[in-house]
Structure 1
Amino acid sequence: MSTMKLLTSLVSLCVLAAVAFAVPAQEKRIHHHADLSDHAHDDAHGFQYDHEAFLGKEEAKTFDQLTPEESKEKLAKIVDRIDMDKDGFVSHGELHYWIKHRQRRYIEENVNKHWNDYDQNQDGKIAWEEYKNTTYGYYIDDEFHDIEDKARYKSMLTRDERRFKMADRDRDGIATREEFTAFLHPEEFDYMRDVVVQETVDDIDKDGDGKINIHEYIGDMFSPESGETEPEWVHTERKQFSDFRDSNKDGYMDADEVAQWILPGEVDHADNEAKHLIHETDTNKDQKITKKEILENWNMFVGSQATNYGEDLTKRHDEL
């Protein structure tokens, strides 16, 4: 449900480019089930959420570069892999397992991609100093003097340090691979719950009172153009805020209420997505789907050049 918001001389431009390259590898915003997608789950406006849940974020971008024929051909091969008992059907259990597998693989690949960048002494661990120096290094010594928005970068450093310390369970200033995974993907770890909530509040709370009012809540999702009529879904969100999000009816969402919003207990989003995909494509309503049913609804599962919601890629992966 959330909307993404997050960087005059030649020297300043160069510095900004360098910092932008080094800026933290972790999600800028942990908010609304980042393990699946940052896109709203709204099939009326496209299937990007479904694509990223089914394929994983990076592979979904790859499919966006294929022709429809190529996408369907690759999808058929994926279906064969999902059908683990080879009975010709994809059950809810098989689809749920596949989506969870894609989530885990995305996280593992993201950690692996960044590990060597930060483990400067190659000791199999990442110290806070290694991360800080690799990400901010020269700019810390210079107090970000050459950067136009230096307050923002100082804030990013503070935010990173808070998150790193929370991920560092034994408080030794050094992250193991598991702790570094918690740093990059705190939404996956129960002990990181407080930092997930705090960062969400920090991002949405514009007046700095530590709470989220209705205007901040809606403003995070919808910024109307001049003269634009407010869509119906925004009216629905206003009602959600007053009826459910603001549970104590004081006009704000505090940290506990934000936690209930973004970390709602035992909700299994992979399970919900598996149910959703089966419901939308199971034409004979037998609670399982065939390859034929999946391919007839291929654009719900994968993208293509014809349904390109993703960014251009410079290379393709031959296999998942």
Structure 2
Amino acid sequence: MEYRSSIKRLVVLFCFVCLIAYGNGDNEHEKIKVKTHHDEPEEKHYLKDGQHNPDYDAEMFLGRDRATLFKELPEKEVQERLRSLLHQVDTDHDKIISEREMEQWLRKIDNDRLANDAKVVFEEMDDDKSKSIDFKEISKHTFGDTVDEDIAKSEEFSKYVDRERRKFALADIDNSESLSFDEFVTYQHPERHQHLSDVVVTDVLNEIDKNNDGYVEFSEMIGDSGNSDGKEDDWIKNEKKEFAKYDKDGDQKLSTSELKEWVIPDRKYIDEEVQHLLEGADTDHDGRLTIREALAHQNLLAGSKLTDYGNLNILREEL
């Protein structure tokens, strides 16, 4: 069954969906290509059959490029590199990785991922190689040199450009009318910056709140995705449960603050991954990892299918 989710609908909206239209010469509605600025790795966390994806753990702990490299290295070299990496995670050098150290490490890896992805886009958009990007350059690379006249005159397109300009201005901290690389990262990921996250929530609210009462009701959340016969599919039941989790006061609608908690992820997936890694590798269940425990669970942290023989070698060599 096709997976439909009001959460995904929110994410698309809150990512400032980019509408790029291209005509096909007939009377059909314009086709829309969606380009999102928000990129969280949660979709990779579980395989299609619901099983945990080991590659997700490796990418979260090692970083995308290092995880790819580790797949190509001999087992022995993976062991040595993981050992060296664990000592970087262990910032107080007590040979124990605390929950806080693990969280700080995963956030660093995640920040590096965002910066690396943004760098590729930044360099592509920086036409004059000035190491800054103005709104004209962003528009050119977002919409192309020309926009279909009918699309350019549409209310939806106008609303999109207006909110992108507003987002651009808020990200332009030094008011230079161009974005440095750091400012561009803020522009791409407004949900991660307090002075922009409120704008994200406001735009989502304005898009979904059809009766303009300042709240989001469940029917507004799912839009026209519900069944016309009144029957509830499993996905609707699941969405109702999810909706209820954020409806703190139980008034059957989401206020701005409740909506913000839903659409602004605050990288909760990192906290979840910290707990997953600790639970998977913390042999003595003391809430932290010794270097020995971490190395003995190389398959979890590095995505490597380590043999029992390899485990024994690690434990003999460590300490």
TM-score by length of 2: 0.63
Task: Quote how far apart the aligned CAs of 1:259 are.
Answer: 1.2
Task: Quote how far apart the aligned CAs of 1:194 are.
Answer: 1.6
- Corresponding residue of 1:163: 167
- Corresponding residue of 2:254: 253
Q: Call closer, same or farther: CA 1:131–1:264 in 2, change over 3 Å.
A: closer
Q: Is the 8 A contact 1:282 1:293 kept in 2?
A: yes
Task: Quote how far apart the aligned CAs of 1:103 are.
Answer: 2.1
CA–CA distance in 2 between the matches of 1:109 and 1:250?
43
Structure 2 counterpart of 1:133, from 134, 140, 145: 140
Identity %: 24
Name the stretch that deviates more: 289-298 or 65-74.
Answer: 65-74
Name the stretch that deviates more: 104-113 or 37-46.
Answer: 37-46
- Corresponding residue of 1:46: 52
Q: Call closer, same or farther: CA 1:220–1:255 in 2, change over 3 Å.
A: farther
The yes-or-no answer on 1:26 pairing with 2:37 is yes
Task: Quote how far apart the aligned CAs of 1:271 are.
Answer: 5.3
The yes-or-no answer on 1:188 pairing with 2:188 is no
Q: Is the 8 A contact 1:91 1:288 kept in 2?
A: yes
Structure 2 counterpart of 1:122, from 104, 122, 129: 129
Aligned residues: 279
Task: Quote how far apart the aligned CAs of 1:289 are.
Answer: 1.6
Give deviations 1:75-95, integer Å, cap 9, x for gaps: 455334323455443232332
Task: Quote how far apart the aligned CAs of 1:184 are.
Answer: 1.0
Q: Call closer, same or farther: CA 1:117–1:228 in 2, change over 3 Å.
A: same
CA–CA distance in 2 between the matches of 1:219 and 1:293?
49
Task: Quote how far apart the aligned CAs of 1:273 are.
Answer: 3.9
DSSP-derived class of the 1:193 partner: helix
Task: Quote how far apart the aligned CAs of 1:274 are.
Answer: 2.9
Name the stretch that deviates more: 79-88 or 253-262.
Answer: 79-88
CA–CA distance in 2 between the matches of 1:163 and 1:186?
8
CA–CA distance in 2 between the matches of 1:222 and 1:82?
47
CA–CA distance in 2 between the matches of 1:63 and 1:235?
42
CA RMSD of aligned residues (A): 4.9
Q: Is the 8 A contact 1:82 1:95 kept in 2?
A: yes
Greater CA radius of gyration, 1 or 2?
A: 2
Name the stretch that deviates more: 190-199 or 3-12.
Answer: 3-12
Aligned amino acid, residue 195 of structure 1 = V
Q: Is the 8 A contact 2:42 2:269 kept in 1?
A: no
The yes-or-no answer on 1:112 pairing with 2:119 is yes
CA–CA distance in 2 between the matches of 1:62 and 1:181?
24
Q: Call closer, same or farther: CA 1:201–1:55 in 2, change over 3 Å.
A: farther
Give deviations 1:258-292, integer Å, cap 9, x for gaps: 11334489x97645643442233211123322345
Q: Any residues of structure 2 matched to 1:1-320 within 5 Å, and which?
A: 2-3=7-8, 26-27=37-38, 34=40, 37-39=41-43, 45-47=51-53, 50-56=57-63, 58-59=64-65, 62=68, 73=79, 75-140=82-147, 142-143=148-149, 157-201=161-205, 205=208, 211-215=215-219, 217=221, 230=234, 235=237, 238-242=240-244, 244-263=245-264, 270=270, 273-303=273-303
CA–CA distance in 1 between the matches of 2:158 and 2:77?
44
Q: Call closer, same or farther: CA 1:187–1:214 in 2, change over 3 Å.
A: same
CA–CA distance in 2 between the matches of 1:278 and 1:218?
36
Q: Call closer, same or farther: CA 1:50–1:198 in 2, change over 3 Å.
A: farther
CA–CA distance in 2 between the matches of 1:71 and 1:202?
53
Q: Is the 8 A contact 1:63 1:303 kept in 2?
A: no
Q: Call closer, same or farther: CA 1:79–1:253 in 2, change over 3 Å.
A: same
Q: Is the 8 A contact 1:72 1:295 kept in 2?
A: no
Task: Quote how far apart the aligned CAs of 1:170 are.
Answer: 5.0
